[in-house]
Amino acid sequence: MKNTDINSLIFGSFIEHIENCVENGIFWKNNKLCDENGIRKDVLELSKELSPTIMRFPGGTVMGIYHWLDYVGPIDERKHVKNIVWGGRMTYEFGTCEYIEFCREIGAEPMICINMPTGTPEEAAQWVEFCNGTEDTHYANLRRQYGYEEPFNVKYWCIGNESFAVPDLGVQHDVNTYIREAWEYTKYMKMTDPTIELVFVGHDEEWNKAVLNELSPVCDYLSIHHYGMGDDPFSQNAEFEQKLIKIEKLLDEVNGREISFDRWYRIPHRSHDIKISLDEWNIWNTEGDKESQYGLQQRYTWRDALWVASFINLMIRHSKYIGIANLAQLVNVIAPIITEEDCSWKQTIFYPFSLFRKYCKKEYINIDNYGKDVVLTKTGEDYTLFGVNITNVEKTIELPFEAVDIINVCGEKLYATNSKTRDIVNITKINVNKQIQVTIPAYSFCIVSNQPL
Ligand code: AHR
């Protein structure tokens, strides 16, 4: 099988106005660790270290009440709005411009999700103009007036979020309504900026078929979400992979068709094959904490970190089809970074994400006999292999290159968690002499390279 390119956008993350992700997370009013805009400097530093390549915003489910114009311009003139979806308030101090600055500071590509439930196509198009407009037009001028002469160049736009979910706001729960309305958003938004790329909501087989059949000329990405849950999230990976394979077959079929598109739409059709945007994924034990109604304040164990490592391996193995992926979420809420009033710290899942992100090469090399938990990547003649061992016995594998450096990462105990004062993750780097085997200890993962790590 041919090597496949790995899109670096699979190492993305997500911030939403939800519990303490933005409020008392990224933004913390009058906190001594904040900069002059209320952004926590320690969160910025940890986010830079995590280094997500793309950042989805402002939701998630909350996008159903998000009217972007309420959160731009002078802070003291912004609307104070109750967050009726997740509780608390909408952090009006962190709107589009602050989000873009956050992305720029940590080096992430922006990815905005528009409000379908209570918004309009026109409002979404105005948001596109505010972000990307270069002409002498009202919303582009508004951005300039607020101090941003240059466009934000937001390329990725999500048309709704989990629209099929009946308990969520909106009337797009049946696929035909979704498709009809999504077309309307597409027209307005792409006429405003024809270069943007669109992510449409995916769901089950029937929904995906309908969306791809009807929207394929303008669909750049099909959004899929996956949360590992319960006592054995590993066992759900096989089921999820089956779902992925079905979507991939569908994509092959749709991508194989010639795009026929009526020029009177006045917008360009898509310029590349449709890919998957796995724009929310993580472990989320919805019953897992007593303090929050939805179990969003997770404290991750070493077992969870191993799951994240093996899930990233799964994504790399499917990199031919996955174009974007976002670890949900970045701070406090099912997140790798936790903030306290006087410090912030790393959850166990921070480590697999940041290390795989740092060392993943540009191509995936499919070597069947390794099994699912070992993945080989390369750029030119530089190789990196990621091996995850989720069993209680060590595992030795033959390497297809001569190793120079090995990083082994393990937790003190399988169900241990990090805290403000204690980090249970041990990272050991070993320099070896052209080694052609590696032994992965029980319950650990390793990164092996023929180059210094
Ligand atoms: O990430 C938390 C929530 O999970 C998001 O708001 C929603 O899209 C998903 O169901």
pLDDT in tens, the chain (453 residues): 579 999 999 999 999 999 999 999 999 999 999 999 999 999 999 999 999 999 999 999 999 999 999 999 999 999 999 999 999 999 999 999 999 999 999 999 999 999 999 999 999 999 999 999 999 999 999 999 999 999 999 999 999 999 999 999 999 999 999 999 999 999 999 999 999 999 999 999 999 999 999 999 999 999 999 999 978 899 999 999 999 999 999 999 999 999 989 999 999 999 999 999 999 999 998 776 666 788 999 999 999 999 999 999 999 999 999 999 999 999 999 999 999 999 999 999 999 999 999 999 999 999 877 888 999 999 999 999 999 999 999 999 999 999 999 999 999 999 999 999 999 999 999 999 999 999 999 999 999 999 999
Q: Which atom of ligand 1 is nearest the CA belonging to 165?
A: 10
* Per-residue confidence (pLDDT) for residue 154, from 0 to 100: 98
Q: 59 CA distance to ligand 1 centroid (A)?
A: 7
In this structure, which residue's CA is closest to atom 3 in ligand 1?
Answer: 60
Give the span between the Cα atoms of 356 and 336, in whole angstroms: 14
In this structure, which residue's CA is closest to atom 8 in ligand 1?
Answer: 60
* Per-residue confidence (pLDDT) for residue 95, from 0 to 100: 98
Q: How many CB atoms lie within 10 A of CB 83?
A: 18
In this structure, which residue's CA is closest to atom 4 in ligand 1?
Answer: 60
162, 282, 297, 331: residue to mutate for ligand 1 pocket, most atoms within 8 A of CB: 162
16, 83, 166, 173: residue to mutate for ligand 1 pocket, most atoms within 8 A of CB: 16
Instruction: Identify the residues whose C-beta falls under 6 Å from ligand 1.
Output: 16, 18, 59-61, 161-162, 280, 328-329
Residues 6+ apart with CB under 8 A from 408: 427, 428, 430, 440, 441, 444, 445, 446
Give the span between the Cα atoms of 352 and 363, in whole angstroms: 19
Pairing assessment for the beta strands 444-449 and 395-411 based on DSSP bridges: antiparallel
Q: 176 CA distance to ligand 1 centroid (A)?
A: 23
Q: 202 CA distance to ligand 1 centroid (A)?
A: 14
* Per-residue confidence (pLDDT) for residue 371, from 0 to 100: 84
At which residue do the structure tokens 């004062």 appear? 421
Give the span between the Cα atoms of 64 and 163, in whole angstroms: 10
Q: Which atom of ligand 1 is nearest the CA belonging to 162?
A: 8
Give pTM, 2 decimals: 0.97
Q: 326 CA distance to ligand 1 centroid (A)?
A: 12
* Per-residue confidence (pLDDT) for residue 290, from 0 to 100: 64
Q: How far is CA 58 from CA 37, 98, 223, 325, 349, in A?
A: 18, 12, 16, 16, 22
Give the span between the Cα atoms of 183 and 357, in whole angstroms: 35
Q: 248 CA distance to ligand 1 centroid (A)?
A: 24
Which among 438, 328, 318, 432 has a CA at the least distance from the CA of 389? 438
Q: 163 CA distance to ligand 1 centroid (A)?
A: 11
* Per-residue confidence (pLDDT) for residue 367, from 0 to 100: 83
Q: 61 CA distance to ligand 1 centroid (A)?
A: 6
Q: Which atom of ligand 1 is nearest the CA belonging to 282?
A: 1
In this structure, which residue's CA is closest to atom 6 in ligand 1?
Answer: 60
